[in-house]
Chains A and B, each alone.
Chain A
Amino acid sequence: MDSTKIPLDLILEKMAEDAEKAQKRVTKASEILQGQLHYEIALTPYEIVYEEDRVKVKHYFRNENAENKLNVPLLVVYALINRETMLDLQPDRSVVKTFLEGGIDLYMIDWGYPTRKDHFLTIDDHVNGYMNNIVDFIRKRHNVPQINLMGICMGGTFSIMYSALHPDKIKNLITTVTPSSFNTDRGLLHVWMKDVDVDRMIKTFGNIPGDLMNLGFLLLNPARLMVDKYISFMDNMDNKDFVENFVRMERWIFDSPDVPGETFRQFIEDCYKKNLLIKSRMYLGGKRIDLKKLSMPLLNFFGEYDHLVPPQACNQLSKAVGSKDVEDVCLETGHIGIYVSSKFQKLFAPKIVQWLKERDKEEIVTQTKLSDVRKKSAKNGVSKVKRVRHADDSRAGSTLNSSTLRER
């Protein structure tokens, strides 16, 4: 080994510099951590307009002065895992705020915290029970035959089920990081869930504890989620904004309600193990979920680097549904980055607003009319399936501009 090649003097000098910087950082961090920090989440005002058992519906106050206000209200269905507060995590990164500023009349389901008494609740109870009652409530409140529906992750899967079972009530469907095809080995969850003894889990826990699931999510990438994340916090703890946002994210990520046992059982057995949904062979309340009946326009978002719901679990939907107006949007980010990354704040929510606006003026078509339209489209060979890919500039190190959007 040639020892003259190692710049020992430079390394030592750098170490001394680092030690000095660390000293300053710790002093400032101490002041910040002991000072007044604001890390509240979900601050956008709303009112509770619907309550059934543990389930509530939030109605946000939109900007009534916004131009081109949408006529059709939007209902957002979050997953049963974690909380819907993620869409309103911090004031400058809020999907909720962007929707309201874009003129959307926004409703959001708060699934609450299931207790042991909820452990017999099935997917059917959630989809054909709570969701259907809420959709009916909003339709009645606005006096409209159809509403827009947006689902997130597992909430997206519920939304697919609902839209296929009740297509007359949904005008447009937006699915984001939504698993619909489970037969992939790209995501570790898909690998691990294949052999899990779900009956024994339900017998043991009743509801699946949120903490247990969180531990599972941490174990998906311990190097990043249990080591690197906190090293990054130490590196930036002299930055008040960073600390506040970091704590906001921690508050959200560990706020995990338990998942009702019977719902979990069916989700694992029918979806993860048997992959019935994408094959249109899944049943809810005795009714088959036929994806060909999902006939409304569909906008399907997913993350290229999503380790929980990989693109392969999301991108099969557009081929399986009956709708002819389908758009797949692949964003070069992870599962949560779509909603909270500063880069995608300018892409994700504005894209939804725009997409809904384009379809807001369209006549609400009934199933009979829709089948006529489909027949005509098929005759003319018209099928509007678009696939778009949006790059994450943070990876490329460039600023956001239109050149980062490219067709697949």
Chain B
Amino acid sequence: MADEDKQSPLKEVPFFPWLTVAADMWLNLIKATPSNPDTSVMTQTAVQSRFTRQLDTNLNLLKSFSRMMSEPESASAAANSLSAMPEILMKMAKSGFEAAMQIQNHLVEKAGKIGKRTEAYNFENLDQEVFKAFSDIYEKEFSQYFKIPPLGLTRFYQERFNEMLDKYNVFETMLAEFFSVLYLPLEKSFKVFQEKLKQMAEEGNLPKEAKESYTIWIKILEGHYISLFRSKEYTDTLHRTLNTLEDFIIVRNRMLEDFLQMLPVVTQKEMEELYKEFHVLKKRVKELEKQLNISPNTLTVIK
């Protein structure tokens, strides 16, 4: 340890003695400032005095800190931490890089499966792994940041704002999956259409008009969509997309209510309460009108 102290580069630099000298100089300067006995400037003097006392405290703190740092053990610890800094930075960068690589590898691996998904007119057991992987990554790597409990006076507002961002991201991911599923019949129909054309060409029956080819393709496409829409996978994806959209809209509305509350306008929640009361009252009025044999036709009133 003693050897290490001797070898410390900081020991060579007169940093800590300079700090002590500087603190001493400022303290002396403050003490040398004359006090003003004039009562007419009492308030100003009081402020100055408070400022001086504060500065005095700070400089004393600095001085004791510099004294402490001048101790051989402290200086050595500081020197060690500085020399370890590049290593720490390297470690942080490495772990971040490894996480990024892991995510990328995961995505590339899953994305490679896109082309190999399902056979024509078959939409069972869709390989939506790529989207699941993306959802998992989002859940594990990003979503948690939006779930860190906010603190302080504005914690509820911040929480709702974070929740909205989180739900929006989840919805976007789900929407991408939904569109990808909707795109599948298109992809498959082109594949089947090409095979059909090949077969027709071999038989010498190639359509002579573009319209004829189009009619063949649109029938194939329609068939694929009907197969897809009847699959459980599609129904599940549709409902999950709808659910994430609804989740997002609910929290977005809640957040907007926060903003609206700051403005002199009614919020949706308040209007809903009013509508409910209005509805109940109207029903009661109509019931009373019926008892009195009054037609609810507003035109009879106008006429």
B72 at the interface (CB under 8 A from A): no
Most buried by A among B245, B271, B297: B297
A91 at the interface (CB under 8 A from B): no
Asked whether B210 lies within 8 Å of A204 as measured between CB atoms, the reply is no
Minimum distance in angstroms from A97 CB to a CB of chain B: 25
Asked whether A204 lies within 8 Å of B250 as measured between CB atoms, the reply is yes
Asked whether B298 lies within 8 Å of A117 as measured between CB atoms, the reply is no
A35 at the interface (CB under 8 A from B): no
Residues of B within 8 A of A195 (CB): 235, 239
Residues of B within 8 A of A192 (CB): 235, 238
Q: Count residues on chain A whose CB falls below 8 Å from chain B CBs.
A: 47
Minimum distance in angstroms from B293 CB to a CB of chain A: 11
Asked whether A51 lies within 8 Å of B299 as measured between CB atoms, the reply is yes
Asked whether B286 lies within 8 Å of A223 as measured between CB atoms, the reply is no
B16 at the interface (CB under 8 A from A): no
Residues of A within 8 A of B235 (CB): 191-192, 195
Asked whether B221 lies within 8 Å of A227 as measured between CB atoms, the reply is yes
Stretch at the interface among B27-35, B62-70, B156-164, B275-283: B275-283
B225-251 Cβ-contact flags toward A at 8 Å (1 or 0): 110011000010011001101100110
A120 at the interface (CB under 8 A from B): yes
Asked whether A51 lies within 8 Å of B297 as measured between CB atoms, the reply is yes
Question: In the complex, A196→B282 CA distance in Å?
Answer: 31
Question: In the complex, A119→B268 CA distance in Å?
Answer: 13
Question: In the complex, A227→B224 CA distance in Å?
Answer: 14
Stretch at the interface among B105-113, B117-125, B199-207: B199-207
Given A203-B250, A227-B218: A137 and B210 within 8 A (CB)? no
Question: In the complex, A231→B221 CA distance in Å?
Answer: 14
Asked whether A5 lies within 8 Å of B201 as measured between CB atoms, the reply is yes
A43-61 Cβ-contact flags toward B at 8 Å (1 or 0): 0000011111100000000
B97 at the interface (CB under 8 A from A): no
Asked whether A222 lies within 8 Å of B225 as measured between CB atoms, the reply is yes
Residues of A within 8 A of B286 (CB): 129
Asked whether A14 lies within 8 Å of B225 as measured between CB atoms, the reply is no
Minimum distance in angstroms from A12 CB to a CB of chain B: 10
Asked whether A188 lies within 8 Å of B298 as measured between CB atoms, the reply is no
Asked whether B297 lies within 8 Å of A2 as measured between CB atoms, the reply is no
Asked whether A48 lies within 8 Å of B299 as measured between CB atoms, the reply is yes
Residues of B within 8 A of A228 (CB): 218
Minimum distance in angstroms from B191 CB to a CB of chain A: 16
Interface of A (DSSP majority class): helix
B282-303 Cβ-contact flags toward A at 8 Å (1 or 0): 1100100000000111110000
Asked whether A117 lies within 8 Å of B275 as measured between CB atoms, the reply is yes
Residues of B within 8 A of A7 (CB): 206, 208
Residues of B within 8 A of A241 (CB): none
Q: Count residues on chain B whose CB falls below 8 Å from chain A CBs.
A: 42
Residues of B within 8 A of A197 (CB): 239, 242-243, 246
Question: In the complex, A196→B295 CA distance in Å?
Answer: 39
Query: Which listed residue, B208, B271, B276, touches A120 by the CB 8 Å rule?
Result: B276
A1-18 Cβ-contact flags toward B at 8 Å (1 or 0): 110011100110011001
Asked whether B230 lies within 8 Å of A51 as measured between CB atoms, the reply is no
Residues of A within 8 A of B250 (CB): 203-204
Residues of A within 8 A of B211 (CB): 235
Minimum distance in angstroms from B219 CB to a CB of chain A: 8
From A15, which residue of chain B is reached at the shortest CB distance? B210
Query: Which listed residue, A48, A120, A231, touches B214 by the CB 8 Å rule?
Result: A231
Most buried by A among B218, B222, B299: B299
Residues of B within 8 A of A224 (CB): 218, 222
Asked whether A14 lies within 8 Å of B221 as measured between CB atoms, the reply is no
Minimum distance in angstroms from A281 CB to a CB of chain B: 25
Question: In the complex, A291→B230 CA distance in Å?
Answer: 32
B71 at the interface (CB under 8 A from A): no
| A/B interface sample: 7 pairs, CB < 8 A | A5-B203, A10-B208, A117-B279, A192-B235, A204-B246, A204-B249, A231-B214
Given contacts A2-B202, A50-B299, 16 further A-B contacts (CB under 8 A): A11-B208, A14-B208, A18-B210, A49-B299, A52-B296, A117-B278, A120-B279, A133-B295, A133-B297, A192-B235, A197-B246, A200-B243, A201-B242, A221-B226, A222-B225, A227-B218
The 10 closest A-B pairs by CB, nearest first: A5-B204, A223-B222, A204-B246, A120-B279, A223-B221, A117-B275, A51-B298, A52-B296, A50-B297, A204-B249
